[in-house]
Amino acid sequence: RWTWVAFDDAPRSLAAQIALFGAAGLVVGAHGAGLANLVFAPEGCRVLEFPVAGRANRTYEWLARALGHAYAAADAEATFTGALDLDDAAVADAAAKVRGLMDGSLR
């Protein structure tokens, strides 16, 4: 059973961020500083990142892999403001990658 929680610009204490990410089984997000909270996620957490254009910055992929998380990058790209513009193909790709992360076929 999963509960979806949006991690947005709402102010959160460090303790609240640690608790939120410490209980995460799956993190889905646009490339950005919020993904630094992966350091609090339990080993084996699954991560789907919407990277910046051209996957120019792979910091969070390297972080996730170093921490023992399963990682995939979506085909759709985020802007530096975190905005996503997803067409049907991008949504289908992201859903397929989440399924792959969940069933273990993507690491």
Q: Answer yes or no: are the C-beta atoms of 69 and 41 closer than 8 Å.
A: yes
pLDDT in tens, 22-77: 999 999 998 888 899 999 999 999 999 998 877 778 999 999 999 999 999 998 87
pLDDT in tens, 76-94: 877 666 667 788 988 899 9
Whether the predicted model's global pTM rises above the 0.75 cut: yes
Q: How many CA atoms lie within 13 A of 94 on its CB side?
A: 22
How far is CA 22 from each of CA 1, 38, 48, 94, 99, rounded to the nearest angstrom?
Answer: 16, 9, 17, 23, 21
